[in-house]
Amino acid sequence: MTVAEGDGTTTTRPAGRPGEFRLAGRVAVVTGASSGIGRAVALRLVAEGARVTAVGRDKSRLDALPAAAAEVAPAGCPGSLRQAQADLTDDDARGALVAGLLAGPRVDILVHSAGGYTNGPHADAPLDDLDWLYAANVRAPYALTQELLPALRAGGGDVIVINSSQGLHAGPNLGQFAATQHAMRAVTDSLRQEINADGIRVCGVHPGRTATPRQEALFAQEGRSYRPDLLLAAEDVAEVVAGVLTLPANAEITEVHLRPAKKSY
């Protein structure tokens, strides 16, 4: 499918044929790319041929990404990666990021993988934690999507929201975090109905426990042995994202539920 771009050029949305750089010519923004799922997604999209802006807060980890992208990109791959340090909860920092993105040729793909996590019982979980989770997990991705919608509309883009299994069913001691994930599921569903007619696909991805630095810290907090072999790999989630993005243009996956095949909890 060939669509007109905002700069007057055209691009062809890939039909998902194997053995090709299926995202060649597309421009992606991936948040939370400093580590974990966001990092894996950014690298996978580069390997598929996309030009990726990897957004995160950790400068040292972001600075290591271009070398990692060069390692995963096959010979002849047109993909590229540039890093952008920003705290998306800061309106000024996010505004500067958006200005830089809109100064480029276009934005075709927006992947939300940034966010925060806390846990604690309802009886004494600090309300400050709830305010911070709302700012990081709901307000920031909502605002960034709003600010990039004109660019996404110009070329018929994709929005992918990396959510959580807690966005489907809330567990004990996770009321605050799960509330923000449920809120983002609602935002994702509402957004889809608003912008599908503009040629923009919207997908929510709900992974179960995934082997990331956050998950390792959580296992330590719980006093449990960390067995990454019993969890999803971040690359598993990235594989799903790549599959969603490379579907034929007339097909849309609206929601994916993903969990480890071997159960450790």
19 domain-assigned:
no
Q: How many domains does the chain have?
A: 1
149, part of any domain = yes
142 occurs within a structural domain: yes
pLDDT for 221 equals 81
User: In degrees, to the nearest 5, what angle opens at C-alpha 86 toward C-alphas 88 and 71?
Assistant: 120
Considering the domain boundaries, does residue 226 fall inside one?
A: yes
Write down the pLDDT at residue 1: 31
Helix axes 140-155, 175-195, angle to 10 degrees: 20
Decide if 9 is inside a domain.
Answer: no
**Token pair belonging to 17:** 């044929």
Tell me if 18 is assigned to some domain: no
Instruction: For residue 161, list its beta bridge partners.
Output: 112, 204
Segments forming the whole domain that contains residue 133: 27-258
**Tens digit of pLDDT at every position of the chain (265 positions):** 333 333 333 344 443 344 589 999 999 999 999 999 999 999 999 999 999 999 999 999 999 999 999 999 999 999 999 999 999 999 999 999 999 999 988 999 999 999 999 999 999 999 999 999 999 999 999 999 999 999 999 988 999 999 999 999 999 999 999 999 999 999 999 999 999 999 999 999 999 999 888 888 888 888 888 899 899 999 999 999 999 999 999 999 999 999 999 865 5
Task: Give the pLDDT score at 138.
Answer: 98
User: What CATH number does the domain containing 110 carry?
Assistant: 3.40.50.720
In a domain, 3, yes or no: no
210 within domain boundaries: yes
- For residue 56, the model assigns a pLDDT of 98
Phi/psi of residue 128, nearest 5 degrees: -60, -35
Contact predicate 55/33, CB 8 Å = yes
pTM equals: 0.90
